[in-house]
Structure 1
Amino acid sequence: MNQLMRRRLISILCASGLLSASEQVMASAFQIWEQDGASIGNYHAGYAAAAADASTAFYNPAGITLIKNQQIVIGGAAVLPDIQYKGTVAINTINNFMPYYVTAQGGTFAFVPSLHYVAPLTDRMGFGFSVDVPFGAEVNYGSDTYLRYISTLATIKVVDVSPSLGFQVTDKASVGLGPDFQKMDLEFDQVAVLSDPTIGDPTDTKSINRASDTAWGYHLGGLYQFTPDTRVGLSYHSQVVHHLSKKSTFSGPLANELNNGEDFVSRATSNITLPPYTALSFYHRLNPKVALMASAIFTQWTTVKNIIMKNLAGIDQSELSGDITVVAPQSFRNSWNFSMGADYFVTDQMTLKGGVGYDQTPVRNAYRTVQLPDNNRIVIALGGHYQATKAIGIDLNWSHFFMNKAHVIPPTQVTGDQEGQTNGSVTGGADVFGGQVTWDIA
């Protein structure tokens, strides 16, 4: 194959890999609801109204006024996902679209930490502070199957630091607000190839792309108590616009051949908007033994139109280039999340929890890819709280996500002369184990 054609194919492979991976960023599956360890036990039912501990500073800062002493909450969630793709992969640079059957596991263990603090300032005003992860996930198919030519690794992590103030306006109504300062880190990788890797010299060349940014938004909320045992809460988290940039690297035999044995590096940029979401929650202490709660959360994913990536490392026509631009059209829909739960107060020290939920995906069937095999989920949750001492409480909780089988048969992905096809399905789910320690400071 002549040098000009080889260079064009390298350019296309590098760019198309970034295009595919970027779609994963904006999925509802990356929206994490567990910003503490306790609410996992009832799948965050009532989270904008319960105000059970200092985590209300993030969920609904109006609830800060119900915490009458200093309190620190340290929590975390261990996520064990199961994401398995079964189907075919066909690339036109490998035997002209010959389909290869693939079974690949993409689930990876993750730990999601959280920290919350609340302190009353006056009888009617309180301060809150939270550090948590509202968005984050990882899908890692590895490099052992032909799926590596579509995607190997895609990760997103958003750390949110948010101080808050809560104000009691009347004996029944409270409001709260605060800024959100976010640090966002992304990585999207794949492998480029020029010919069948099982024949002749291997040409597998890695495309590794990282980006990061800091940005800010805000959150606010209101809480109304009809009685001491019944209340409703409404909270809102704004969209956050991230202007990301960092290193894009194309490394391996194809890059080295054209760049005197060196990797080709540039500074890629992209703008990504994390969507706003609104939560309406209800909490009711039915009797001394039972409390009921529910939440409905609406996420405005349609604020995302296109993802445009600029200054990518690659080869443009016959020359090395670091200014390749790729436009990835999106077609997300707004999504809903519903949850219902209950607490059963066994004794003054022991509380049992339970809940169920439904999480709707924003991904439309026609746009589902192996990088974004998201689908609707049903959730069950169980857990408990133990008040070890007057000051120390401990929570241990579990939830399981049942994801509907997701068919992955998107249109042929075309970028110049490079075309890739997948035809298969993804099955999966996840177990989430949560823990929390609550310390009431006298």
Structure 2
Amino acid sequence: MNTKTRRFKATALALAVLGTLASGQAAASGFQLREQSVKNLGKSNAGSIVGKDASNVALNPAAMTNLDKITVQSDLTVIDLTAKFDGGGNVLGSPLLPLTGGDGGDPGDATLVPNMSVVIPMKGALEGMTLGFSIGAPFGLKTEYEAGWVGRYRALTSDVKIVDLTSSVAFKATDGVSLGFGLVYERAEATLSKAIDFGTAICASSNPLNCFNPNYPFKPQQLDGGFEVNGDDTGIGYIFGMQVAPSDQFAVALSYRSEISHNLSGSLDFTNVPAILGADPRFKDGDGGAKLTTPSITTLSVKYGITDHFRVLADYQQTGWSSLQNVTIKRDTGTVVGKEEFKWKDTDFFSIGAEYDLSDAFTLRGGFGMDESPTNDTHRTPRLPDNDRKLYSIGATWNVSQNLSIDAAFQRIEIDTPSIDLPVEAAAGNTSTLVGEFSGHANLFGVSAQYRF
């Protein structure tokens, strides 16, 4: 990042695919990503788990039975987020000591998020069973502000990278009824950092009035240091699903993905600690970490064919974000270094969409969705300044041959204005307020290829 340019960079997830890393900007509420399928992107995820799509390995294993050939699929989505912060704050809540710094500016560059899946229908004695494997990114975020921005004492970098390797199996229980189950191996890495106003901490510890005394040697915002915690962990979860499709015209599916708990362990690092605090054990480097639980996801999809060429679709999804109530950073001795309250709630997502076959070669689709945010006005922070969203999507499929198809999609996300009103919280080490609003929207462009053997 060019530190001479004011920037607020809100991105989501570094995803490993075939040994490479790619990062993408947040495109769903919380730090959830729904970019596993470009075909789903083009209909705002309506009917997301009832289609003939290899991404069902990680979305609904039961729907893998919709594919009758070995299928390899690669999805690439470019996410371009525009956001801006307008606001400020005061040291110790006093208008006599306003916070200095920039407002965050524009977001970073457009970024690419890849996903890959393979589905293998079994033959012979194992007829009716389907295997699948995928690597992808269901969650992740990165918010990164330049060092001198006005909210630096609340957040500088918040980087959560989550990569899933999913192995699934599906069975046709009867004609039109399929069941599926998958195991999820998940790796999570996290980095959290912020600035520390050591000047205010020193003057306020003896007498808060010293912070207003121009002759006092330690002054607010003139003795900044930094704090960063890094950690990583792996965990195991599961996904199961079912699909009922009594005819080619109608299908309904249900899937559930479990929570996955992580005990992130790593290091705590402090920088520019003043000599007067050099012996203070609170500011010593060492080992530590934090707990992180990725939420459960329950999805219900419906598809209905009005004609042989026109289908309507709908989706409902609940994400169990109540698993994230706070982030408590501890040393390996158990001593709490910092705690940030989130108080997130479970969220609902709704979408409707339609598909129309122009011919055997071309299909058009579109959709609209409403995505509820887990955040609230009381505890929203610049680490993830999220709010409710509306999704508008269009897409198309080109069946190049019996074996190859190519999909393309565009989605526009309109984000309700998130407000922030954070008070002084001395116990949590926050010695200043932060008040303001974020504005923003996102454009997503996707392309994918599916090859059937």
Distance 1:363 1:257, change over 3 A: closer
Instruction: Find the aligned partners of 1:32 and 1:47 in 2 and give their Cα distance.
Output: 13
Q: 1:381-401 deviations in whole A, cap 9, x for unaligned?
A: 112111223222111111111
Contact 2:424/2:430, CA 8 A, preserved across alignment: no
Distance apart, 1:143 and its partner CA: 1.7
- TM-score with structure 2 length normalisation? 0.82
Distance apart, 1:201 and its partner CA: 11
SS in 1 for 2:33: coil
Distance apart, 1:288 and its partner CA: 2.8
Contact 1:301/1:362, CA 8 A, preserved across alignment: yes
2:308 maps to 1:288:
yes
Aligned counterpart, 2:41: 40
Instruction: Find the aligned partners of 2:106 and 2:152 in 1 and give their Cα distance.
Output: 11
Identify unmatched segments of 5+ residues in structure 1.
Answer: 1-24, 313-320
Instruction: Find the aligned partners of 2:194 and 2:34 in 1 and give their Cα distance.
Output: 29
Instruction: Find the aligned partners of 1:94 and 1:193 in 2 and give their Cα distance.
Output: 15
Deviates more, 1:146-155 or 1:106-115: 106-115
Instruction: Find the aligned partners of 2:324 and 2:382 in 1 and give their Cα distance.
Output: 20
SS in 2 for 1:147: coil
Distance apart, 1:190 and its partner CA: 1.5
Distance apart, 1:325 and its partner CA: 3.6
Contact 2:99/2:150, CA 8 A, preserved across alignment: no
**Structure 1 vs Structure 2 CA RMSD:** 2.8
Distance 1:386 1:336, change over 3 A: same
2:142 maps to 1:130:
no
Distance apart, 1:244 and its partner CA: 0.5
Q: 1:171-230 deviations in whole A, cap 9, x for unaligned?
A: 02110001110001111121223349xx99963323222111100100000000131221
Aligned counterpart, 2:194: 190
**1:74-153 alignment, distance < 5 Å:** 74-92=74-92, 97-100=97-100, 102-105=102-105, 107-108=107-108, 109-121=110-122, 122-153=126-157
Distance 1:416 1:72, change over 3 A: closer
Distance 1:417 1:224, change over 3 A: closer
Identity, in percent, stands at 24
**1:217-366 alignment, distance < 5 Å:** 217-252=237-272, 254=274, 258=278, 264-311=284-331, 323-366=335-378
2:400 maps to 1:388:
yes
SS in 1 for 2:360: coil
2:72 maps to 1:68:
no
Distance 1:118 1:202, change over 3 A: same
Report the AA paired with residue 174 of structure 2.
T
Q: 1:287-320 deviations in whole A, cap 9, x for unaligned?
A: 23212111000112223344332118xxxxxxxx
Report the AA paired with residue 288 of structure 1.
D
- TM-score with structure 1 length normalisation? 0.84
Aligned counterpart, 1:436: 448
Instruction: Find the aligned partners of 1:105 and 1:330 in 2 and give their Cα distance.
Output: 24
Instruction: Find the aligned partners of 1:420 and 1:278 in 2 and give their Cα distance.
Output: 39
2:137 maps to 1:155:
no
Contact 2:328/2:338, CA 8 A, preserved across alignment: yes
Report the AA paired with residue 61 of structure 2.
P
SS in 2 for 1:33: coil
Distance apart, 1:30 and its partner CA: 0.5
Aligned counterpart, 2:18: none
SS in 2 for 1:57: helix
Distance 1:175 1:418, change over 3 A: closer
Distance 1:234 1:214, change over 3 A: same
Aligned counterpart, 1:170: 174
SS in 2 for 1:169: strand
Contact 1:375/1:405, CA 8 A, preserved across alignment: yes
SS in 2 for 1:149: coil
2:223 maps to 1:203:
yes
Q: 1:344-370 deviations in whole A, cap 9, x for unaligned?
A: 212211111211100001112211122
Q: 1:403-425 deviations in whole A, cap 9, x for unaligned?
A: 11112113333326752211111
Contact 1:86/1:102, CA 8 A, preserved across alignment: no
Larger proportion of strand: 1
SS in 1 for 2:174: coil
Counting matched residue pairs gives 404
SS in 1 for 2:416: strand
Instruction: Find the aligned partners of 1:232 and 1:417 in 2 and give their Cα distance.
Output: 50
